[in-house]
Amino acid sequence: MKVFLDYCMWFFGGIILFYMLFVIVSYCTMFVIAMLVMRKRYKLDPSEYDDAHIDAFYSKPVSLLVPAYNEEIGVVDTVYSLLNLRYPQTEIIIINDGSTDSTLQTVIEHFRMKPVDKIVRTNIPTKQVKQIYESEIYKNCILVDKENGGKADALNVGINVSQYPYFCSIDGDSILDEKSLLRVMKPIILSDGEVIAAGGNIRIANGAKMHLGSVTETHLPNNSLVIMQIIEYSRAFLMGRIALSKFNLVLIISGAFSVFSKEWAVEAGGYSTNIIGEDMELVVNIHRLVRKKKEKKRIEFVPDPVCWTEAPQTLGVLRNQRRRWHQGLFESLWKHKTMTLNPKYGLIGFLSLPYFWLVECLGPIVELGGYIYIVVAFFLGKIYYEVAIMLLLLFVIYGVIFSIASILFEAWILNTYPRKRDLLRMILLAFTEIFWYRPLTLFWRCEGMIRFVLRRSDWGNMKRVGIAEKEKSV
């Protein structure tokens, strides 16, 4: 028995150690790539590009899609921030996804919506559209009232109604910077359409002073839980997004703010309605399509902070969010499992998908195992101390050092929180991450996985949850 336990401990300890080293090395690589990419832009004056491209002559018109399900509070501000976008040609399409609150009335009253007859071309089959309205104040603002069908269905309706070659999906509760669209469209314009989808860098709005769709000041919020999420976002951004984007390996661009070429999105079948992570699903489907048609197209991530969104403030909501994210991730990866290590899909199959499987998806199990190992080793006595301590040190590198590095690097380049006090507070809090935040999120993500495994059988009648639950992929 003792021998068996011994073997077990060495075996698991070895696997976990090896895994941790692997993850750390891959994160380090991505961090270095991100640093090289970002360092170049340090202190570059971005307004030059912005000013040149405000003229309709250089840009392409974009349809902005705002799906709203029970968003009576947030939707008006979101639309305002869209109206304030500096972009030559846009149309705003608000899609009321059969809300049960007064979303429809609020929008109608606020923007003076009048019913209109409009010819809608059904590119993607959707639920029934009840009525289309047009604003009296803003001629480019349209409201579509439809039967409830979930966020993906609402977005598909938006795509059908839209008249421009690009569309941008925006969550009903996020606020955009006035230059967001200009910047997110930049790779698309500059590549003459070689980039067919682009996502922006999502920031957490808690603590920022906002009024009528404009962010006036950014302060670090007081809630530690929110600060931890801010650190997490910036880490995901530096150790992941940028590096993946450089090699056209992006699999997730957040649904909270991303632009797609309509042509490609429609051909990829639009948003899938029967899956949790519809944004990831669309990206993967587009990747598949690109490979199938053997065209040279890219999906990019734009490092500029562009979209502000409210993060969960309480453990309960955060738990829900993370569980769903992870379930969604697992579900999408599982659905496309045949792509993994499939030579047909090139680097996506050999790098991107394995990365998501090993690091993002299965990571929590191993890491949580590591935590359990440390606790168990502590009770089993001296002989395992060394492995445990090593594991602990790796956790320190993985959790603390990477976090601090991201905080500092982001502060250097983007300077989102200009106050010195805020910076120091973030650094101090990063030291505590491995003791509470990390284990908690790991646990929730494992829960998500278990839910995925258990729910697999009742796919078809999985209940749709509204957008109001505020879920955004990091």
Question: Which residues lie near other proteins (CB under 8 A)?
Answer: 40-45, 47-48, 51-59, 80, 83-86, 88-89, 112, 116-119, 121, 136-140, 178, 189-192, 211-214, 386-387, 389-390, 393-394, 396-397, 401, 404-405, 408, 411-412, 418, 420, 423, 427
Structure-block tokens of residue 247? 């090699």
Minimum Å gap between C-beta 194 and other proteins is: 8
Hey, what are 242's tokens? 């940028």
Report which residue type is found at 320: N
Nearer to other proteins, 56 or 375 (CB): 56
First to last CA, the chain: 44
Shortest approach of other proteins to residue 297 CB, angstroms?
A: 14
As a whole number of angstroms, the distance between CA 180 and CA 184 comes to 6
DSSP class of 311? P
Q: Which is nearer to other proteins, 189 or 446 (CB)?
A: 189
Nearer to other proteins, 37 or 289 (CB): 37
Question: Which C-beta is closer to other proteins: that of 48 or that of 458?
Answer: 48
Secondary element (H or E) of residue 209: strand 208-211
Helices (H), 223-261: 224-236, 242-246
The one-letter amino acid at 96: N
Cα-based distances in Å from 8 to 157, 377, 395: 54, 11, 21
With respect to other proteins, which residue has the nearer C-beta, 246 or 319?
A: 246
Question: Rounded CA gap, 172 and 186, in Å?
Answer: 23
260 with 196: CB under 8 angstroms? Answer: yes
Structure tokens given for 368: 């949580």
Q: Is the dihedral of CA 372, 375, 381, 385 positive or negative?
A: positive
CA distance 355 to 199: 20
In angstroms, give the least distance from the CB of 58 to other proteins: 5
Residue type at 115 in one-letter notation: P
Closest approach of other proteins to the CB of residue 411, in Å: 6
- Cβ distance to other proteins smaller for residue 131 or 340: 131
Q: Quick one: DSSP state of residue 296? A: -
- Cβ closest to other proteins, residue 16 vs residue 280: 16
Rounded to whole angstroms, how far apart are CA atoms 395 and 138? Answer: 53
**Whole-angstrom distance, CA of residue 319 vs CA of residue 465:** 16
The total number of residues written for the chain in this structure: 474
CB 347 within 8 A of CB 299: no
| Minimum gap (Å) between residue 394 Cβ and other proteins | 7
CB of 123 to other proteins, least distance (A): 10
Distances (CA, A) of 248 to 74, 87, 90, 253, 348: 34, 26, 27, 12, 8
Assess contact for 305 and 201: CB atoms under 8 A. Answer: yes
The secondary structure of 85-134 as a DSSP string is ---SSEEEEEEEES-SSSHHHHHHHHTTEEEE------SS--SPEEEEEE
For the CB of residue 333, give the shortest distance to other proteins in the complex, in Å.
32
Shortest Cβ 54–other proteins spacing (Å): 5
Complex with other proteins: residue 108 or 361, whichever CB lies closer: 108
**CB of 214: closest distance to other proteins in angstroms?**
4
Minimum distance of other proteins from residue 165's CB (angstroms): 12
In terms of CB distance, is 209 or 292 closer to other proteins?
A: 209
Closest to other proteins by CB, 125 or 418: 418
CA distance 233 to 214: 21
Q: In angstroms, give the least distance from the CB of 6 to other proteins.
A: 15
- 62 or 282: CB nearest other proteins: 62
Report residue 325 as tokens: 């994210």
Whole-number Å distance between alpha carbons of 47 and 429? 34
Taking the least distance from each CB to other proteins, the nearer of 132 and 339 is: 132
Q: How far is the CB of 60 from other proteins (least distance, A)?
A: 9
